[in-house]
Amino acid sequence: MRLEKHLSQGKLLYLTKQEDAISVSENDHFRWMAFNDVVQSIMHKRKPHLLTLPHQVALMLPLLLFRPNKVIELGLGGGNLTRFLRHLSPEIEVTSLEYNPQVINCFTEYFNPEQLRLSIIHSDGLSWLTQQDEHDIDWLICDVYRSEEFGFDSIIKQLEVLTGKLTRESCLSINLPDISDEEINLCLTILQQIQVEHDISYFHIPNYLNIVIQLYPKHWSLHRLLKQSAKRNRNSYLPQRVFNRWSQFWKHGNSV
């Protein structure tokens, strides 16, 4: 059954009618969270660690290149990335920042079926990030939030804060939802100007409005790492089968 059919056949578990109406629904196979009827996160109930949306795989592509120890995720949502990383390796330390306490409550009650002990901080992610030492961060993952009040300027500010916390050894993965071609080109131009020690690739997610941008250290030599790891897989936590499949996705990216 196609995913959209599953989402049309769910029963409501939770609903809040605050400014951002958050709902949780499920059927026999999936449970999902929506903001104002827009699905944000989907969990496979039998295998909660699975990634269920294509932009999540695109966000996780740096796992082909290195073994991160400390990961900062801005925006918890339904916790798909956190569950995936914790299942992949207990050595990965993930800290999730979430501003909305209702989202945290929903995650705790409905999207942590294995009762994992996770590091979740109720805070504005960018404000928290400015107080952290960049040398304590291997990988930043961010669903960029677009403020209706400040528009595109708010995205630019977020990019400046995020790149300001990168070292020449760390990665940044950004999900930009519902953004125009003109805006994505401007974002890429700005990233090139302010982050000269990193290569940049971006991915259009087929049939979705998401654009995923990856910044990774220039000295890593992407193609050499992928070629070496395809033989020995020493640079990745990913199982060899997953590694081989995901490494093909880089061909669909665009280098800047």
Q: How many domains does the chain have?
A: 1
* 8: in domain: no
**Over the stretch 58-88, which tens digit does the pLDDT of each residue have?**
999 999 989 999 999 999 999 999 999 999 9
Q: Give the number of other CB atoms < 10 A from CB of residue 2.
A: 7
Amino acid at 252: H
**Over the stretch 157-204, which tens digit does the pLDDT of each residue have?**
889 999 999 999 999 999 998 888 898 999 999 999 988 899 999 999
The string of DSSP letters for 91-138 reads T-EEEEEES-HHHHHHHHHHS-TT----EEEES-HHHHHHTS-GGG-S
CATH number of the domain residue 112 falls in: 3.40.50.150
What pTM value is reported for the model?
0.91
Summary mean pLDDT of the chain? 88
Domain, as residue range, for 194: 41-255
* 5: in domain: no
Q: What is the pLDDT of residue 233?
A: 64
* 45: in domain: yes
Q: What is the pLDDT of residue 59?
A: 96
Q: How many residues comprise the chain?
A: 256
pLDDT of 6 higher than 60: no
pLDDT of 98 higher than 90: yes
d(CA 102, CA 248): 38
* 51: in domain: yes
Burial 184-206 (b: 16+ CB within 10 A, else e): eeebbeebeeebeebbbbbbebe
d(CA 116, CA 202): 32
Q: Assess contact for 243 and 236: CB atoms under 8 A.
A: yes
Task: Report the pLDDT averaged over residues 87-110.
Answer: 95
Q: What is the pLDDT of residue 5?
A: 60
* 101: in domain: yes
Task: Report the pLDDT averaged over residues 2-8.
Answer: 61
pLDDT of 119 higher than 90: yes
d(CA 142, CA 99): 13
Joined together, the tokens standing for residue 138 give: 């291997």
* 30: in domain: no
